Structure 1
Amino acid sequence: MTVTTTTRSERLVDLTDLTPLIETTTSADPAQVYERLRARWGNVAPVLLEPGVPAWLVLGHRELVTVLRNEGLFSRDSRNWGLLQDGTVTPGSGVGGVLAPRDGIYYVDGVRHRHLRRLVDDAFESVDEHHLAGITEQWCRRALDRVLAKGEADLVSEYARAVPLLVMSTMFGLDADQARAMLGHAQRVFQAQGAAGREALDAQRALIVELIESRRAAPSDDLVSAMLRHPSAPTDVDVQSAVSATLILGSQYEVAWITHALRLRLTDRRFDGRSGGLLSASDTLTQVLGSTPPAPNAGPRFALADTTLGGRRIAAGDAVVPGILAASAESRAAGDDIWLETGNLSYLTWGAGPHACPARRPATVIAQVAVSEALRRLGGVALTVPARTLAATGTLWSSVPRELPVRFEEHRPARQR
């Protein structure tokens, strides 16, 4: 099939018959969606964030690295988004509510971003991984004790969604009720349904403000207190901005990572240690990052000047979505990219450049313990539905199995022969 080329006279807003971006996270076969887009448009394809709101989706690895690393040309700050500036997108709309400008580590650039990033990096640097593993193991065991007593469970709602929030609540100083409230806010934010997204963000912000005020008055041994003690003497607003997106995004993607790994262990014998599979929990989690990453699409960047990317004319103000999964697949096919890390494409999930994920180490510890504990404790576990019927629930940015219904017998030591 001939690949269409864009002439300099064409603008993103003038292109028609565009694929909704949501298809890349909800399709049973995302590879087909990417192949169709790439065949028609090349490595940078126009898509719809929602009806009437177009953006560029980056499908190529070279192009992806260019966008992620070049903060001077591709900004995270949506104040640079042309469709927000001209009123096409309003802060109260679906994607407008989620992508509206805000002061947070993932939403600003330059000096402000570097200041907030130092708070987060230094706080995570202080995390004792052995202590974190112990905390995670405790929460995993409590969650598994509850499901084992029932004999069946949905491993998404009763385990994968519970453990990361409980662990992160301990890290940041949230109590159990606050953690459950944060999970609800995160789910509504990612669904991006009209004003509900904005309301959820406001509720999440209020919860963080309350936590910071309590830690300012009575410091404790948690990440919020560590940020408040930072040598740069951050304000409460600084700490709120550093914490908010880190907590809400981190918990959502951690849930997706653990869930995809459990699905793989339950549906692919190569990863199932209970039936002779030789690949470890770490191998499984790495495979997930390369094949079904928790964030198939990263948050959009906004072009600061007219430029060319992958043969496409990108106008100042255009939204550019980094396609993490699409670029990973393209790298496998090409095999000649100088940025490619040989034999391991999972690194793409963590991003690159100034906005690379700051929580890679603790996120990996939590996920590895959660998957290992589940497979160790759930003896005789089996899906109660055919694997092919496991549907994903997706937002523009994330994708996760809707449920993993299983039945199992309580783990018992193997009988001696």
Structure 2
Amino acid sequence: MAVKDFNPDCGDPAYTVGIVDLLLQCVELSYRPEAGGIRLREDIHNAHGYHFFVQFALVLSSMPQNQGIESIHLEHQDDEDSSPNSAQAFDVVQENDFRGKENPSSEHLSPTLSRLLDVLVSLAQTGSAEDKDFKYSHTKASGHSRSRTPSIDRLGDEIWELGNNKVKDLEAIQMLQDLFLKADSRDLQAEVLNRMFKIFSSHLENYMLCQKLRTVPLFILNMAGFPYSLQEIILKILEYAVTVVNCIPEQELLSLCCLLQQPITSELKLTILSFFVKLLSFDQQYKRVLREVGVLEVLLDDLGHHKFLLGPDQHGGHDGPLERKSLKKNLDNKDVIIASPKLMESNSEKFRIFEVDSTVTVAWDCMVSLLKKAEANQASFRSSNGVTIILPFLVSNIHRPGVLRTLSCLITEDTMQVY
């Protein structure tokens, strides 16, 4: 009731967060063998407790900050790989890319709210010991204190901590996801992403477990409304999934492909295309994956509706048959997670990829990378009349290098002697 009925005008945030912290400790204790099968987490679920935690966090984020409160901020990478123009191969993502750093120029996030986020993360990672990594779980009293124990018990504590990082409650992850999407504060959103990255990186299975919620694909579909700093973090999480977890995030890539077809800024299109180029240089199997999610079709469709071919009278914001087919096919085949209004609009004004100088070069880079040493992609390109589409662009100074590179790739690798 203290959380549900919290009043920002007269309530004490620190006291209320302390109650939530105490509740976490009770949940942890309920999983000890001597608890006799009591499971407080189910009571929290049945009482819609996680919903109230989200509302409480949103209220805290909207409260004015007290004077002298220290801030928690996100450190952004300063190297060239973090810029939207980067199209280099992936580096293994390090967790310290997301560690906190004080930054007086940004909004403040109170220690009280930060502590609440920590508690929510701990709830997601608290549960029963189901595998061998948890066989010493009875030696640890809680996640907040450590008593003096014999060396064998300390060893048991360490083993418990190693296993305890695995996600055990997807509803708690869903709670963090809802908090991110509902928050008005960019600092709060950044801190939620920070916590989620730490969850993913604390155990190799966590990202795969959370894929059931389609969390990252949902964030990607909403990226157009985020500042570049948050877009960068989301893509860094995706890099982590590719380079460290070593999974093929098809839903996430499908979401990026769908987003690429929407009336988003040229800067975001550049970021997405650069990510695809980096992905293709990292692992050749993504030539197939990106073709299957529709990237090659999107690029060809964009060229086919270029004002250079259609002329000013025919150039408009309507989707062509190839784009509609590509989008509908992928939505049907990949069991897409959301029917966003932005995603399904068909008459919105387009910001064409190949019509903006800043994205032309990387778009052709992506096209060539998809086709190079990929017979299936080249066959798909030919069946979509790709050569007929790109040939007229030879007269354009800005497009000629890309067209020549594409034709060179097709001709030199033409094992079927089509050309």
TM-score by length of structure 2 reads: 0.24
CA radius of gyration, larger in: 2
Larger strand share, 1 or 2: 1
Higher helix share: 2
